[in-house]
Amino acid sequence: MHLLALVACTLSLVAYAGLLSSDANSQDPAAIRTTQVQSPAANDSGQPQLSVSSRGVLLSWVERTGTEATLKFSERTSTGWTPARIVAGGSNWFINWADVPSVIRLEDGTLVGHWLQKSGDSTYAYDVRLSYSRDDGKSWSPSFSPHKDGTKTEHGFATLFQLPGAGLGLVWLDGRNMKGAEHGVDGHSSPGATSDDMSLRYASYTRDWKPKAEAVLDLRVCECCPTTVAMTSEGPIVAYRDRSTEEVRDIFVSRLEKGQWSEPKAAHAEGWRVNACPVNGPALSAGGKNVALAWFSAKGDRPVSYAALSSDAGRTFTPPVRLDDQASLGRVDIELLPDGSALAAYMEFADQKAQFRVRRITKDGSRSEPSSVAGMAGNRSSGYPRMVLHGGELVFAWTDRESGSQVKTAVAALAR
């Protein structure tokens, strides 16, 4: 059995949950001391996502009632989370622990949501659907899709972002060239799958929601690792897991420069060769020309999470810094800090417990002691924990599996 499968089987036995204290790090000035706050999500919720705009932090999640799924969102205010509002719902959605919907706010105040909707009978036949609201979520446009290929294949792992001075941009994994193959987020292909490839694609819309541009960023990428985008002073940068013809699945980046995406290249060429998708995507954060990147690797059958920094808008990165102490489940997130360092989030597996942890790293490669945000279920049911920074406040969200499933939230003040 491959180590990734062995780790998954071992960790599936773990059901450790509950908020952990970071008192053990009380002597560390870089320690993050979190406080759990009342979540706006009800029971039977999951798939949390966080985004930031000039208005503040926005949390989205999915609630389930029987076969019906509903995408909801809430915004953080000085008095807590606003009451949950509904974006859309349906009984024909594709719901998954790693490929999750989102809601973001554009610079003109427009809210945009995305979710995944089944397009055929095949397990992984689903489309990205988009909808927008100009009245703060009171009403939403009819949904539409950014891809027009019409194939009943996988279209997902989308990342939505504000284009500078324009409208919406997004990237997604697109299976239109995988005809006859059933690929999905279990990380494997179905029997008889063809050699056709998953691609990474981009589309954009003007402020009045007219299609503006489409592009193929990479014609062969890992089939089911989440994508990520951050905004530098030179434009957006995207990171994703590539897939070479030799099954090397390193993290690649591409930057949008003068309307054209740059030739993708490895952020750190480590040469991790694996014959299955690890379902573990990277995370990006940026400010000016500074960029922070986090990712997971299991080269040499050693599951490890890393982070690296860039001061040239993602053209080059510092040597990677290991985040975990013993072993990691990945599922990383990262936030660039005002002093040029970064706070990286990851899932650690140690002492038979899975933990949602954070630690600070600097450009010289030093790292703080880790701080624990929450205990997590060690299997896939816990999904991806999330973290964002706004106005000196860190906001965390994760799926608690201690008794059923519920999205929980916590906050922490960023030490100055």
- At 106 the three-state DSSP class reads coil
**Which residues is 347 bridged to in the sheet?**
330, 356
Find the mean pLDDT for residues 238-245: 97
8 Å CB contact between 152 and 178: no
**How many whole angstroms separate alpha carbon 51 and alpha carbon 269?**
29
pLDDT tens string 134-167: 999 999 999 999 999 999 999 999 999 999 989 9
Contacts for 109 with CB less than 8 Å, ≥ 6 apart? 55, 134, 136
Domains of the chain: 58-368 (2.120.10)
Q: How many CB atoms lie within 10 A of CB 151?
A: 17
Is the entire prediction scored with pTM above 0.85? yes
Task: Report the pLDDT value the prediction gives residue 398, as an integer from 0 to 100.
Answer: 98
pLDDT tens string 80-137: 999 999 999 999 999 999 999 999 999 999 999 999 999 999 999 999 999 999 999 9
Lowest model confidence (mean pLDDT) among 32-41, 167-176, 185-194, 363-372: 185-194
pLDDT tens string 381-392: 999 999 999 999
Q: Which two tokens stand for residue 38?
A: 């009342």
